[in-house]
Chains A and B, each alone.
Chain A
Amino acid sequence: MLKDSVPRVLDTSSAYKERIKRGWYRFSRSKLSVLGLALALTIVFIALFAPLVAPYPEHAGPFVDFSNACKPPSLTHPFGTDAIGRDILSRVFFAFRGALLMAFVVLLIVVPVGTTVGLIGGYFDGLWFSTVIMRITDVFLAVPPLVLALAIAALLRPTLMNSMIAVCVSWWPWYARLVYGMTVSVKNEPFVKAAELMGMNRFKIMFGEILPNHLGPILTKMTLDVGWVILTGASLSFVGLGEQPPTPALGTMVSDGAKYLPTFWWISVFPALMIVAIILAFNLLGDGVREMLTSGE
């Protein structure tokens, strides 16, 4: 990718190893970050290997067992069973898949788009098209992301794909604004001028010279966003716009169990706690990423 304006041939592995070591040192200074990393890795692992680690994998598909319905948490069903007898723990594991997939896809689309918009808007700040795209960005920013996602998802048929599209549309402007601000503050620095004066073209300057300096805040935001995108996805599925049954989704599980509160509390509470766990994990991880990438000393 055109990330560097100079070929990477010159870098030796030892210089990189040194920097990775230093980065890890900075990251691991905080125990909480390491905890966040462990939690996040566990969640990813579970999502990837759900069919293998879930005790009752078939419960994530069409499965009914009324004799086992609404059983409280026990050794065989640590999270209890739901209204039609499905093991909640297994369903939660499978729900992780949809959640993480959404986070991955959304960020995969949103980050490049938002970053590009922000880079162009920032580098050409003052020129007409920069003003135009930043005003468009402002319009999208003015609407609360959840509301926008709800509106879009409601317009389209409720599927996982469409809820992802909805979240994408409402999420990209945040990256655009972030990168815009950073680009504007850096574009008049002598090192950018030096690159311009030596004859580098504008595309290479934006992506090769300016963007590498923004990686810290962007990666930090991405890490934190995993949790928030998943929460937004859960909010969408809570109101029925997202993964459709029988595929388990965290939001849907919470809303399904809501009518059984407070007697059969575990049907709603455990999926909700898992949402919290995901956000916590990625927030802690995100703090650690920020420590690692933004040089304080």
Chain B
Amino acid sequence: MKAVLEVRGLKKYFATSKKGVYVKAVDGIDFEVYKGDVFALVGESGSGKSTTAYTVMGMYEPTAGKIFYRGQDISKIHWKRPMELKKEIQIVFQDPGTSLNPSKTVAQIVGAPIVLHKKPRGEKLKEAVVHFLNMVQLPSEYLYKLPRDIGGGEKQLIAIARALASGPSFVVLDEPTSALDVSIQAKIIRTLLRLKEELELTYLFITHDLSLVRNISNRIAIMYLGKIVEQGPTVDIFAQPAHPYTQMLLSSIPVVTKAEEALKPKKVTSTGEIPSPVNVPPGCSFHTRCPFAWDLCKQVEPVNYQISTGRWVKCHLYSNKEVLVKKETEHER
């Protein structure tokens, strides 16, 4: 099956004021997203998940590596990308308070992409905007409201309506519910899932909330300090987390029922601090916090080992498994 989005060897470094010192936000990652996936990129601060999403969107140009969308090389900054592509790939940001222009009405905000890409005028434009508002279950009374008159959850719905207004097929969601209360989060998530089915969308979902990931994504990649440490189908990873960091993450989630408590791994509990991406530990970058680390881990970075189909892990503990060879894509030949 051909992937909708393919990321190969992606690196994104940021220069610092010190010469030769870089923030290695993303340091060589590979993954694919297939049509209809909800692919979750999970990690804490410094993991590089947001940088990855923004590079896919074209807000940054990759330092190295390639990004392919439907086979087309899009590894450029968004100014250099074709207009067609900007219709296709859209993003919903984390904080609706700053992602909506405070001086514009809802009609103008949601109307902007419609005008840019389809150029209707007058009544047709109004109808189109109302159509997208209704898609996120907001009544047309919202047309002339300003963002400051709208609550957080509804603002996020408007941000979603705006993202959908250009008719994309791939949507990047950068922690869309982290800034919202639990009771509103549920509504937003349900809306997102419903829209995915109705409009046949594919999602790249960035988050740190593993409970959420369990409920909405079918495939996930766990990131730590710019690298993907574990990747595979959600159900499998939650049932048997392979990488020690995954286990640490899972054991740290606060849960509300005994049933969930039983699912949390007990062997690995959280210790240590997250190192800064300016000063990444040598070898396996997780070794400073890993209870299973031994000498090799401190010196040599592990490669990706395949545990089962579509599931691999970057850890020396699994070195007896098959090494995942980087697939040479058709485009590179």
- A residues at B contact (CB < 8 Å): 4-7, 9-12, 14-15, 189-191, 193-200, 209, 212-213, 215, 295
Contacts and interface: CB of A to CB of B under 8 A. Distances in A.
Contacts of A209: 101, 104
Given A5-B115, A190-B94, A200-B116, 11 more contacts: A6-B108, A6-B112, A10-B143, A11-B105, A11-B144, A190-B93, A191-B98, A191-B99, A199-B117, A209-B104, A213-B103
B302 interface: no
Given A10-B129, A190-B98, A193-B59, A198 B148 contact: no
A15 B101 CA distance: 17
A123 to B, nearest CB: 13
A190 B116 contact: no
Contact of A194 (B91, B94, B111, B122): B91
A144 to B, nearest CB: 34
B93 to A, nearest CB: 4
A191 B112 contact: no
B317 interface: no
Interface stretch (B82-90, B248-256, B266-274): B82-90
Nearest to A194: B99
Contacts of A11: 105, 107, 144
Interface string B228-253: 00000000000000000000000000
A7 B108 CA distance: 8
Given A15-B144, A199-B87, A212-B103, A9 B78 contact: no
B93 A4 contact: no
Nearest to B102: A213
B7 interface: no
B51 interface: no
Contacts, number: 88
A11 B166 CA distance: 21
Interface in B99-156: 99-105, 107-108, 111-113, 115-117, 121-122, 125-126, 129, 143-144, 148
A12 B90 CA distance: 29
A5 B112 CA distance: 7
B125 A10 contact: yes
Instruction: Please classify how large the interface on chain B is, using the bins under 10, 10 to 19, 20 to 34, 35 or more.
Output: 35 or more
Nearest to A211: B103
Q: Chain B CB within 10 Å — which of A193, A209, A215 has the most?
A: A193
A212 B101 CA distance: 9
Contacts of B166: 198
B246 to A, nearest CB: 30
Given A6-B112, A189-B98, A197 B91 contact: yes
Q: Considering the complex of A and B, which 4 residue pairs feature the smallest CB-CB distances, nearest first?
A: A15-B144, A190-B99, A199-B86, A212-B103
A63 B19 CA distance: 76
Nearest to A212: B103
A199 B116 contact: yes
Contacts of A6: 104, 107-108, 111-112, 115, 125
A131 B329 CA distance: 43
A7 B93 CA distance: 25
Contacts of A198: 86, 90, 112-113, 116, 166
Contacts of B108: 4-6, 10
Contacts of A12: 144
Q: Chain A CB within 10 Å — which of B112, B122, B159, B162 has the most?
A: B112
Q: Chain A CB within 10 Å — which of B79, B83, B116 has the most?
A: B116
Nearest to B110: A6
B57 interface: yes
B32 interface: no
Contacts of A213: 101-103
B121 A9 contact: yes
B78 A215 contact: no
7 contacts: A5-B112, A5-B115, A7-B122, A12-B144, A15-B105, A190-B93, A191-B98
Contacts of B87: 199
B57 A197 contact: yes
Contacts of B148: 295
B58 interface: yes
A212 to B, nearest CB: 4
B143 A200 contact: no
A105 to B, nearest CB: 28
